[in-house]
Amino acid sequence: MAPAELRERRWRLVVSGFADAATNMAVDEAIQTVHARGEVPPTLRLYGWRPAAVSIGYFQRMAAEVDLDACRRLGYGYVRRPTGGRAIFHHVELTYSVVIREELLPGSVLETYRTLAGGLVAAIRRLGAPAELAGGEPDPRLGGEASAACFDAPSAYELVVGGRKVVGSAQTRRHGTILQHGSVLLDLDAELLFTLLRVDPEKRPAAVAHLRSRAAGLRELLGREVTWDEAARALPEGFTEALGVEFVRGELTPAERRLTEELVTTRYGTDAWNLRR
C-alpha cells in the first residue's frame, strides 16, 4: 500500500521543552483544536516530561494497569492520553507530536502512520541507528505474550532497530484533524517500568527480560550518549529529508496557551479523566 500524499509542506516547529504529564497532554489537544479552526499551521512539537510519568491509552483503565501508590511514592506522574494504545513510562525519551488536518494528509490510519514514520526512520538513521518499519504485525521472531506496556511489541509501521522497538506512537482523529504523538526511547529502564505497572511480583523478572528483548533505547543500541537536544535536532531534519517538510520555528499562540490551562483544569489534571473506568 502506497503511503498517503502529503499536501502541506510548510509546518510549524514548536520545541516546548519539559512539562508535567497533564500539561503535555493538554498542549497536544490544544494544538489540535486550534489547528482544526484554521488558526495555526500543521505542527511538529517536541517535548519531554518532568517529572517522568506513566501515560495510559484512552481505552485502558488506570487502576488496572498502573500502581498509583508506587507512582506517588517515587514521585512520578500519571495521565490518560487522548490517543489509544498501551501504557508508556515517559522517562528518558524525546516525545514528538504531529498535528495536521486530514485533508492535508489524506489516507487511512495505517497510511498516515506510514507517511509520518518515514520522517521518524530518517531521524533515527541520522542519529546512527539502522531503523526500519516493523510492518503490519509484531515480529514473530520476538515471541511471547504482550503486556500492558506499549514497547512490549511493535505495532503496524512502528520503528525497530535490530528487531527491537525504539519508537512507540499513537494516533487519534477529531474535528477532521489528526493528532499523532509518540516516544523516541533514549534509554529504557525496564525494571522501573514494571515497578510502576501492575504486574505479579513473581512474574516481574520474566516481564523485564521479555521487554528488554523487544525494546531498547538509542543509547544501548548505539553504545554512546544520545542527548535530548541531539534527538530534537534530528527529528525535524528527518521529516524534512523524508517528507520534504519546511519548518518554521514558532511558539504556542495565546489561544493555545489559554486552552492548555483550561484542559489541565478540566481534564488532564483531574481524577475524573485519569481514573475513570
Cβ–Cβ < 8 Å for 31, 43: yes
The Cα–Cα gap between 76 and 95 comes to 17
Of the two residues 26 and 85, the one the predictor is more confident about is 26
What's the whole-number mean pLDDT along residues 254-261?
98
- The pairing of beta strand 53-56 with beta strand 77-80: parallel
pTM: 0.91
Would the CA dihedral through 110, 111, 115, 118 be positive or negative?
positive
pLDDT interval class at 8 (50, 70, 90): confident
Please give the CATH topology (third level) of the domain spanning 10-274: BirA Bifunctional Protein; domain 2 (3.30.930)
Per-residue pLDDT at 3 exceeds 60: no
Could you give the percent of the chain with pLDDT greater than 70?
90
Per-residue pLDDT at 108 exceeds 80: yes
pLDDT interval class at 152 (50, 70, 90): low
* Annotated active-site residue in 150, 160, 188, 215: 150
Per-residue pLDDT at 127 exceeds 90: yes
- The string of pLDDT tens digits covering residues 163-176 is 999 999 999 999 99
Question: What's the Cα-to-Cα distance from 241 to each of 125, 178, 274, rounded to whole Å?
Answer: 11, 21, 38
Cβ–Cβ < 8 Å for 184, 219: no
pLDDT of residue 144: 35
Q: Is residue 71 annotated as a catalytic residue, yes or no?
A: no
Between vectors from CA 43 to CA 42 and to CA 44, what angle results, nearest 5°?
Answer: 140
Cis-peptide into 42, omega within 30 deg:
no
Q: How far is CA 209 from the centre of its chain?
A: 23
Q: What is the 3-state secondary structure (H, E, C) of 34-49?
A: HHHCCCCCCEEEEEEE
pLDDT of residue 276: 87
pLDDT interval class at 143 (50, 70, 90): very low
- The string of pLDDT tens digits covering residues 64-77 is 999 999 999 999 99
Cβ–Cβ < 8 Å for 9, 242: no
Of the two residues 223 and 276, the one the predictor is more confident about is 223
Asked which of 36-45, 143-152, 225-234, 262-271 is least confident by mean pLDDT, the reply is: 143-152
The Cα–Cα gap between 45 and 27 comes to 9
Q: Where are the domains of the chain?
A: 10-274
pLDDT of residue 45: 98
- Looking up cell 481534564 gives 267
